[in-house]
A and B are shown apart, each in its own frame.
Chain A
Amino acid sequence: MKNFFTAWNIARHSLVENYKNRFFALFVIFAGVLIYASLLAGVMAMDEEARVITDLGLALMELTALAYALLAAASTITREIETKTIYLIFSRPVPRPAYLAGKAAGLYASLALMLGVMALIQLSLISFRGFALPPFYLKAVFFIWCKLLIIISAVLFISLFSTSTVSTITISGILWTLGHFTSEAKFLINKSSGSASLLLKACAYFIPNFQLFNARDLGASGPAPAGPGFLAAYLLLWVSAPYLFSLVLFRKKEF
C-alpha cells in the first residue's frame, strides 16, 4: 500500500510538471490550429464534410499527441538523471518499481488530459459546423490513448538503454511505424522462407500491433478485428512487458 501511495505521489507530481511545462500548451495550441485548419479540407469535401473533419481531426490529434508522448517519455527519466533531481528521490524511501510506475502513470494521465482538450476543441468545431457527434468518436479517442499507452511504455524502456533522447525518439518512431504495418509484415514473413523467415517471425513478436486500435478505420465500415477482452489483454501485455523489462534495467542502475 505504501508503494502505491509513493507511485501515486510521483504520478501526480509528474502530471502537474507536464501540464505546467510550456511544451504541453504549445502542442495543444498547435493541434488546435491544425484541427481548425481541417475545416478547410472539410469544406472542400462537399457532402462528406462531417466525415473529413472528424477523420482528419482525429489523425492530427493522434500525430500531435504522439509527438508529445515521444518527446515527454524519452526525456522524463533522463532529464531527472541529468539535472540530478533523481538524487532527491532515490535518497528517500522510494522503491524503484514505484518510481517507474509513477512516472509512466503521470505520462498516461498527461496524454489523457491532452487528448481530452484536443477532443473538446474538435467537438466544438464539429458542433459549430452543425454536425452531430460521430457515433464512434469517443471510442476512437480512447483507442488513440490506448496506442499512446503502449508507445509510452516502450519509450520509457528504450530510454533506459538508449544513449540519447534523439535515438530513443528515433527507435520509438520506427516501432510506431512498424506497428501500423503488422498485417503487411505478416504477409511478407509468410512469403519468406528459411532462416530469414524465422528471424522475421522472432522480430514480429517485439512489434506491437497498433492496427488493432485503429478505431477510425472501423468507424464507418468493417467489423472490429478483436473483441474487447482480447484488446484489454493485449493492451495490458504491451504496457506491462516493457515495464517489467525496464525494472530489470533500472533495478541496479547507479546515479
Chain B
Amino acid sequence: MTNIDHKKVVSFSNVSKSYRRPGLFKSLEIPALRGLSLDLERGEIAGLLGLNGAGKTTIMKLMTGLLFPDAGSISIFGLSPSDVNTKKRIGFLPELPYFYPYSTAAEALLYYAGLSGLKGAEARSRVDAIIEKVGLKPHAAKKAAEFSKGMMQRLGVAQAIVHDPELLILDEPVSGLDPLAIHEIRNLISDFNGSNRTVFLSSHSISELEKVSDRVFILVQGRLAKTVARAEWENVKGGLEEIFVNAVKTPVTGDSYPA
C-alpha cells in the first residue's frame, strides 16, 4: 500500500508508565503502560487500537516528550523524544486540539511555524500553502473561537504538518467529525504519507484504521496484545473488528499475552 523501507523510526523497548494519584497518606499508582515494546518503520501508516484507558494517548505523549517513561527506553530517529532535534521532525495532533481564541487561523499557524523553527517569508509561504491544503483559506482571517469542530480539527492537522515533519502522530484525528470532514482528513493523511513519511494514529474507529493503516497495534490494559498487518485482516472473515474483539476478550495472563 505504501512505500515502507523497514528502517526503524520509532522504537519502544519494554516501556512502562504509571500515573500517580495523590491520596491522603500515600499516592495511588495507576499503571497505564506495562512493558510495551513496538517499532514503527519509515513510510508506514501504523494504527493504534484500544478501548478507553488502554494507554493510546499515553504512548503518543511519551513519543512527544510530554510524559517521561518510568522504565524502559524510547528512541525516535535514534534520539530521545525530549531532544529538540527529534521534535523538529515530529508533528503532533492531540485529541480535541484547542487554539488561542483571539488568534486567527493564519496567526496560530504562523506562531506554531515559528516555534518549529521556520522564520519570516519561509514561514509565511508555508502557512499560506498549508491553509490552502487543509481547506481553511476562506476562514484564514477568522478567530479560532468562531471555528466549528471540523474546522478546528483541520487547523489541528495544519499545525501538525506546517513544518513538514517526517513523523506525524495523530490522536483520534477523526473523532466526532462528520463524514465529509473524515474523508478530507483521510485524504490529508494519505497525501502526507505519499512522500515516504510515517504516520502513527490512534482511533476508536476500526473501519477508519482499516482504510488507512498498513499495520495496527492492538492495545489492551497497557499491554501490546497483538500487531496485525493489512494482509492478515484482509484474509480474516470479519476483518480487523473480529481480530480486535478476540484480542480484547482474551484473558491477560501475568505480565504478558498468550502468543
Contacts and interface: CB of A to CB of B under 8 A. Distances in A.
B172 to A, nearest CB: 13
Contacts of B198: none
B112 A92 contact: yes
B159 interface: yes
Interface stretch (A54-62, A82-90, A198-206, A219-227): A82-90
A17 B66 contact: no
Interface string B97-108: 111101100000
For A13, A92, A252, the residue with the greatest tally of chain B CB atoms inside 10 Å of its CB is A92
A135 interface: no
A13 B67 contact: no
What is the size category of the interface that chain B forms with chain A? 20 to 34
Nearest to A14: B100
Nearest to A18: B102
A254 B115 contact: no
A91 interface: yes
B117 A93 contact: yes
Contacts of A16: 102-103
B61 interface: yes
Interface in A1-29: 2, 5-6, 9-10, 13, 16-17, 20-21
Contacts of B68: 252, 254
Contacts of B96: 84
A20 B107 CA distance: 13
A92 B116 contact: yes
A254 B114 contact: no
A107 to B, nearest CB: 15
Interface in A22-62: none
Contacts of A10: 115
B64 A93 contact: no
B88 interface: yes
A121 B64 CA distance: 47
Interface residues of A, number: 25
Interface string B71-94: 000000000000011011010101
A187 interface: no
Contact of A95 (B84, B90, B99, B102): B84
Contact of B92 (A9, A91, A254): A91
Contacts of A83: 98
A21 B84 CA distance: 31
A128 interface: no
Contacts of A20: 102
For B90, B114, B115, the residue with the greatest tally of chain A CB atoms inside 10 Å of its CB is B115
A62 B255 CA distance: 61
Given A89-B115, A95-B84, A84 B98 contact: yes
B102 A17 contact: yes
B111 A91 contact: no
B87 A255 contact: no
A87 B93 CA distance: 9
Interface string B203-221: 0000000000000000000
Contacts of A252: 68
Contacts of B115: 6, 9-10, 89, 92-94
B65 interface: yes
A13 B87 CA distance: 21
A84 to B, nearest CB: 6
Nearest to A252: B68
A88 B96 CA distance: 12
Given A92-B163, A255-B61, 8 more contacts: A10-B115, A17-B100, A84-B96, A87-B94, A90-B66, A91-B169, A93-B115, A254-B66
Interface of A: 2, 5-6, 9-10, 13, 16-17, 20-21, 83-85, 87-95, 252, 254-255
11 contacts: A16-B102, A17-B102, A21-B102, A88-B97, A89-B115, A90-B64, A90-B66, A91-B65, A93-B116, A254-B68, A255-B61
Interface of B: 61, 64-68, 84-85, 87-88, 90, 92, 94, 96-100, 102-103, 111-112, 114-117, 119, 159, 163, 169
In the complex, the 6 A-B pairs of residues with the closest C-beta atoms, listed nearest first: A93-B84, A91-B92, A20-B102, A91-B64, A93-B87, A87-B94
